[in-house]
Homo-oligomer: A and B are copies of this chain.
Amino acid sequence: VGVSVRVATGEPAQARSVRDREGSEIEFSRVVAFSDGVFAIAITLLVLALEIPVGVDDLGQELRDRGSEFFAYGLSFAVIGSLWIDHHRFFGVLKGFDGRLMALNLVYLAFVALVPFSSSLLGSYASQSPAVIVYAINMVAISVTFTLQIEYARRAGLVEPGSEYDAGLTAESIVIPAVFAVSIPIALEVPGETPYVWLAIPILMRIIDARRRRLSRGG
C-alpha cells in the first residue's frame, strides 16, 4: 500500500502519462534491468540457506540428513527461474508502462525477493505445517500480484494487441495460485507430503499446453 500510494501520488501529472517503450528505451530498460537484478540476486541468495555444518563428526551423514535443504534449493531455483521467464515474456509484449504498473511490479518483486526466506524455512522444517504453509502463501502472493500486473496493463492498453497477454486471464494464471491455495489446508494435515500436490502444476500445464496446440492446429 505504501508503495502504490507513494508512487501514484508523488509523480507530477506529465510524468504519470504512459511512457512509450520506443520513446524512452533507457527508462524502460532500467525497469527491466532492476527487476532482472532482483531475480538474479534472489535466485543466487538461495544458496545461503544451505548451512555449513559446525563441529560435526560424520560430515557425510550430516549432509545426507539435510536432503530437504537441497530439495528446497532445487525447487526454489526452478520456481524463481520460471517466474523470471514468465516476467521476461510479459515485459516482451509491453508497449509502455506507467507509475502504477511500476508500483505493482515492486509489490510483486517484494514477494519474489521473499522466496529465499520461505525456501530456507521449508528446507529446515519440511515436516512442519507452518513452514509449508508459508511457502504456499508466498507462491499464491506471487501469482496474484503477477496476474494483477497483467490485468492492469491489459486494461490500461499497455499490452501489444494480439499478444498472448491481450486475451485476459489464461488457464496458466489460474492453475498456479489454485494448486498452492488448495495445498494450504492439506499442509495442516500432511505437511511432509504437500510438495507432491505441487507436482500437479507442471502436469496441468502440460495438459493445457497440449490442448491449446491441438486447438491451434485445428484452427
Interface residues, chain A, with chain B CB atoms under 8 Å away: 2-3, 5-7, 9-13, 15, 24, 26-27, 29-34, 36-50, 52, 59-60, 63, 73-75, 77-79, 81-82, 84-86, 88-89, 92, 99, 102-103, 106, 109-110, 113-114, 116-117, 120-121, 124-125, 128-131, 134, 164, 172, 201-202, 205-206, 209-210, 212-213, 216
Contacts and interface: CB of A to CB of B under 8 A. Distances in A.
Tell me the number of copies of this protein. 4
Given A40-B38, A117-B50, A212-B12, A30 B81 contact: no
Contacts of A77: 3, 106, 110, 113
Given A10-B205, A50-B114, 19 more contacts: A2-B79, A2-B82, A5-B202, A7-B82, A9-B209, A9-B210, A10-B86, A10-B172, A12-B212, A31-B88, A34-B40, A36-B37, A37-B40, A38-B44, A41-B44, A47-B117, A48-B116, A60-B130, A73-B110
